Amino acid sequence: MAQHNITGKNGEDIACAFLIKNGYAILERNWRSGKNEVDIISKIGSLLVFIEVKTRTSSFFGYPEKFVSPTQQKSLAKIADYYCYVKKLSDVEIRYDIISIISNKKQEEVHHIIDAFFPKF
């Protein structure tokens, strides 16, 4: 597995641990439909949360959350819509979050951005 894939997988593991510690239930990881994928689908209370995880080993090129493009946001909205359709979830409240992680031998920094964006179709 390529190093960037290992970094990404480790970041998702860190994000899941963080979410569980903060009262979230993890429903799905790496749920996909066609070419679209969501890193984590979680639930807190009655709220369904679709989460994009961005992990970097440093912030040299900028913080990870800055790399969630409008195209990714649109893709996340499409997959959220499809997930609700497949699971027959109607009238459910949805939120889109980003978990930004800087992880290396010296530090592990987790930043949870709640209501990070409102995607447009």
Q: Where are the domains of the chain?
A: 3-113
Tell me the CATH number of domain 3-113, given options 3.40.190.10, 3.40.1350.10, 3.90.550.10, 3.40.50.720. 3.40.1350.10
pLDDT of res. 90: 87
Q: What is the 3-state secondary structure (H, E, C) of 40-91?
A: EEEEECCEEEEEEEEEECCCCCCCHHHHCCHHHHHHHHHHHHHHHHHCCCCC
pLDDT of residue 81: 93
Q: What is the pLDDT of residue 53?
A: 94
Residue 96: its pLDDT value, please? 95
What local confidence, expressed as pLDDT, does residue 68 receive? 72
pLDDT on residue 61? 61
pLDDT value of position 70: 83
As a whole number of angstroms, the distance between CA 69 and CA 52 comes to 11
Report the pLDDT value the prediction gives residue 73, as an integer from 0 to 100.
86
What confidence score (pLDDT) does residue 6 get? 61
Which residue numbers in the chain have pLDDT < 70?
1-8, 57-67, 119-121
